[in-house]
Amino acid sequence: MLTRIDLTAEDRDAVAALCAEAAGEHPAADDPAFLREAPLIAHRMPRAVRAALAGLHADDGPSALVIGGLDVPDEAIGPTPSSWREGRPVPPAVHRLENALVLYSSLLGDVFGWATQQDGRLVHDVVPTRGHEDEQLGSGSTAPLMWHTEEAFHPYRADYVVLMCLRNPDGVATTVGGFDPSVLTEEERRCAFEPRFRIRPDKSHLQAYNAENADRHREGFDRTEQMNEEPDAVPVLFGAPHDPFLQIDPAYMDTAPGDEPARRTLDRIGEAIEGGLTDVPLRPGDVVFIDNFRLVHGRQPFKARYDGTDRWLKRVNVTRDLRKSSAMRLPDAVRVVV
Ligand SMILES: O=C(O)CCC(=O)C(=O)O
Ligand SMILES: [Fe+2]
């Protein structure tokens, strides 16, 4: 399910040099000119990095990859922000690490964001936030974050979710799991491929969690509201019957009232996933790439400290084809899906 490579000392220096060079030329990791150039710069990444990401992209082996070994200077990155809204301006050491995240990611596809999440930012902060402890959100803590497909509700969800660890003092694990369709009966398999399931947006896409750009992104909030009130019926499995893709988020999902076979099928898939979850405790400098069509992910519970030393991840969404969402993007923000 998961492979891991660690940068050699030489490769670590090479990656750091590219990130520093880019930081000298572009003001931020989400700067449009940097994003435009990132695939080109990434051609100069060490061969081991390019080979590992090409392997994931080929889609014929393990569906998650950890690239470890980036240097994270704990002092220089500053305190863990208390929410995704904080942490600006980005300290130079964090800017360079965000560059690494974008450069790695651009070897897989196009980095993009959501108008309705973290105010349309492309590089997200995943940090525990006061008041969210028991929420099914990246900013939760005491409650386990139930495994899910990222943006399972959305037709243009990421092909890959990429998480970079800056800090994780208690070794809290990200969970990763896949699904083996052979556990289903023929009838259940047919049911899973039929549009009998409804997936709602998670709370991070609600306007209340995104106050600042509410007007600019009105269309996006209206659409998510609509998806929340009247979710389309979708299948839970799609693609090749013998090797299906998965869209599932049990915490935000149901079946039509009275559709017992669909309920049973969903439960069966859920049990199988649950039984095969793997803990991936990220260390500072680890970047995990998760194939969001094949694997689900979540997080073990933990106790937040709220003292600037908390667990801190950076997250980007990557699509293999930004064009497919063109009808749902803002004209002046080509990488933001509304
Ligand atoms: O905190 C984690 O390890 C995962 C959180 C998560 O699900 C996400 O950021 O999409
Ligand atoms: Fe997630």
Task: Parse the chain into domains and list their residue ranges.
Answer: 2-328
Q: Cα of 299 to ligand 1 centre, how many Å?
A: 6
Angle 264-137-333 from CA coordinates, rounded to 5°:
110
Residue range 5-27: mean pLDDT, rounded: 98
Q: Cα of 176 to ligand 1 centre, how many Å?
A: 10
Ligand nearest to the CA of 173: 1
* Residue 175 alpha carbon, nearest atom of ligand 1: 3
297 lines ligand 1 (CB under 6 A): yes
Average pLDDT of the residues of the chain: 95
Query: Per residue in 272-284, is it b (16+ CB within 10 Å) or e — as a string?
Result: bbeeebeebebeb
Query: 144, exposed or middle or buried, with CB in 10 Å at 0-12, 13-18, 19+?
Result: middle
Q: How far apart are CA 313 and CA 297, in angstroms?
A: 14
165 lines ligand 1 (CB under 6 A): no
313 lines ligand 1 (CB under 6 A): yes
* Residue range 283-296, pLDDT digits in tens: 999 999 999 999 99
* Residue 161 alpha carbon, nearest atom of ligand 1: 10
CATH number attached to the domain at 2-328: 3.60.130.10
In this predicted structure, what is the pLDDT of residue 219?
A: 78
Q: Cα of 257 to ligand 1 centre, how many Å?
A: 30
Among the residue ranges 55-69, 161-175, 202-216, the one predicted with the least confidence is 202-216
Which of 163, 290, 311, 318, when mutated, tests ligand 1's pocket best, judged by the most ligand atoms within 8 Å of its CB? 163
* Residue 138 alpha carbon, nearest atom of ligand 1: 5
Q: Is 240 helix (H, G, I), strand (E, B) or coil?
A: strand
* Residue range 140-198, pLDDT digits in tens: 999 999 999 999 999 999 999 999 999 999 999 999 999 999 999 999 999 999 999 99
Q: 320: Cβ–Cβ under 8 A, 6 or more apart, which residues?
A: 57, 108, 109, 110, 159
The annotation places the binding site for 2-oxoglutarate at 174, 311, 315
The conformation of residue 194, written as its DSSP 8-state character, comes to S
Q: Is the pLDDT of residue 217 over 90?
A: no
295 lines ligand 1 (CB under 6 A): no
The conformation of residue 59, written as its DSSP 8-state character, comes to T
User: Does a cis peptide bond (omega within 30 degrees of 0) precede residue 89?
Assistant: yes
In this predicted structure, what is the pLDDT of residue 214?
A: 65
Task: Determine what percent of the chain is predicted with pLDDT higher than 90.
Answer: 87
| 93, 149, 188, 245, 270 from 241: Cα distances, Å | 46, 19, 12, 9, 18
Tell the residue nearest (CA) to atom 5 of ligand 1: 138
In this predicted structure, what is the pLDDT of residue 212?
A: 61
Q: 9: Cβ–Cβ under 8 A, 6 or more apart, which residues?
A: none
The conformation of residue 63, written as its DSSP 8-state character, comes to S
In this predicted structure, what is the pLDDT of residue 206?
A: 80
Tell the residue nearest (CA) to atom 9 of ligand 1: 138
Angle 271-272-277 from CA coordinates, rounded to 5°:
100
Angle 122-127-132 from CA coordinates, rounded to 5°:
110
Query: 203, exposed or middle or buried, with CB in 10 Å at 0-12, 13-18, 19+?
Result: middle
* Residue 148 alpha carbon, nearest atom of ligand 1: 7
Ligand nearest to the CA of 175: 1
Task: List the beta strands (DSSP E) in 206-311.
Answer: 233-234, 237-240, 243-246, 253-255, 278-281, 287-291, 296-299
| 151, 185, 320 from 80: Cα distances, Å | 25, 47, 31
- Give the largest CA-CA distance in the chain: 60
Band the pLDDT of 46: cuts 50, 70, 90: very high
Band the pLDDT of 208: cuts 50, 70, 90: confident
